[in-house]
Amino acid sequence: MTRLLIVGPPGSGKGTQAARITDRLGVVAISTGDIFRANVKEMTPLGIEAKKYMDAGDYVPDSVTNDMVRDRLKQADVADGFLLDGYPRTTAQVAELEDILASENQQLDAVILLAADEDELVARLLGRAQTEGRADDTEEVIRHRLAVYREQTQDVVEAYRARGLVREVDGLGELDEVTARIVAALA
């Protein structure tokens, strides 16, 4: 069984690489961002609540996110493993994920950290905003999201680094090159 996280700043390619890695490993990719966007599109109560935070570039509150992840990790399709993208993002969520996994006598195998230059990330996200019409990707919001990432999520990386789980990978370059780096880091 493979239980992984993929972590990195917004625009570092987490979603793209998560899909590629899960295809190779035969496990499920779980993206909290995709789940939130689907709920926003469907105008569910969770989506309405999440949208106000997402539009401001802030994270959805832990209570909402933790409940969603707990429910998702109980579904049958994750029995052979998973790769989480976008969770945990705070040290409180790290503790919650450990509790969720411990309740099933499980633990994480590794944390993939995609590293990338901030100015390159801003350029990537602005390009994505134009091609995908994403209202949440203005330059001001992007820079705010990167600042929030530095302030909060870096602590998550350090918590997992202290546990010896972090595999840092350069997230810039051709898709196949980045995927190959991740696979090598996990070997």
Concerning whether 41 is annotated as a catalytic residue, the answer is no
Whether the model pTM is above 0.85? no
Provide, for the chain, the percentages of residues in helix, strand and coil under a 3-state DSSP scheme, each rounded to the nearest 5: 60, 15, 25
Q: Binding site annotation covers 150?
A: no
Which of these is catalytic: 134, 150, 161, 163?
134
Tell me, letter by letter, the H, E, C secondary structure of 104-115.
CCCCCCEEEEEE
Structure confidence at residue 1 (pLDDT): 67
* pLDDT score of 89 more than 90: no
pLDDT (tens digit per residue) in 91-140? 889 999 999 999 989 999 999 999 999 999 999 889 888 888 777 678 99
Q: Binding site annotation covers 179?
A: no
Structure confidence at residue 61 (pLDDT): 85
Per-residue pLDDT band for 55 (boundaries 50, 70, 90) equals confident
Where do the domains of the chain lie? Answer: 2-186
Q: Binding site annotation covers 44?
A: no
Q: How far apart are CA 26 and CA 36, in angstroms?
A: 24
Please give the CATH topology (third level) of the domain spanning 2-186.
Rossmann fold (3.40.50)
